[in-house]
A and B are shown apart, each in its own frame.
Chain A
């Protein structure tokens, strides 16, 4: 079974620039999550999709962050404009379904540095 694919692996941008991250979940997984992991901290949920609908985006800074999941498969997370405090690893995970909190599979993440 192929894992969760994320790209790019690394990105360095200047503050106030925009950036986008891409995620391809495991085939057939209905639930997709974006987490932000700041150095030395645990992952923090940004947004959860069930198929192509948003289940939870309560912790997404909507003034600068946006995410979409087209056709219930791939997803894109965008930051515009970026701030220094957005420097973090952005992890994408997918799971089989809304009620199944086990079986999350994470990608390797995109490491963002904002300078």
Chain B
């Protein structure tokens, strides 16, 4: 079993839709939870960061962490064609480097 599981998609939505992206994990020691966005032929860039449980909002993006269920989510409101990318969840215990999910490819149709 992989430490971090993520549905690869692809996920196709119309412009303006609310997008929900999710990851599950098995390592209960994970404390740091991140979402990265990766455009084609580019390196991942940090989108959202959450420590431990709870919600965090930044503009159109909301990250949620439910440690009791070992489940994290990223919501994108009013999705735009420029949001089309691969979204990677990533986690760490704080002592080791990030462990990434496999990524979900998102396509927002104009």
How far, in angstroms, from A54 to B88 measured CA to CA in the complex?
26
* Residues A56-110 near B (CB distance < 8 A): 56, 91, 93, 99, 101-104, 106-109
Report the tally of A-B residue pairs with Cβ distances under 8 A. 52
* B16 on interface, CB distance cutoff 8 Å: no
Identify A102's interface contact among B32, B43, B99, CB under 8 A. Answer: B32
B43 touches A42 (CB 8 A): no
* Residues B90-110 near A (CB distance < 8 A): 90, 92, 94, 96-103
Number of interface residues of A (CB under 8 A): 23
Identify A42's interface contact among B46, B97, B101, CB under 8 A. Answer: B101
B98 touches A104 (CB 8 A): yes
* A13 on interface, CB distance cutoff 8 Å: no
Q: Is the interface of A mostly helix, strand, loop or mixed?
A: loop
Known contacts: A101-B32, A102-B46, A108-B42. The answer to whether A40 contacts B97 by CB under 8 A is no
Interface size class of B (residues with CB under 8 A): 20 to 34
Known contacts: A40-B102, A41-B102. The answer to whether A107 contacts B43 by CB under 8 A is yes
How far, in angstroms, from A2 to B101 measured CA to CA in the complex?
27
Nearest-CB residue, chain A, relative to B91: A101
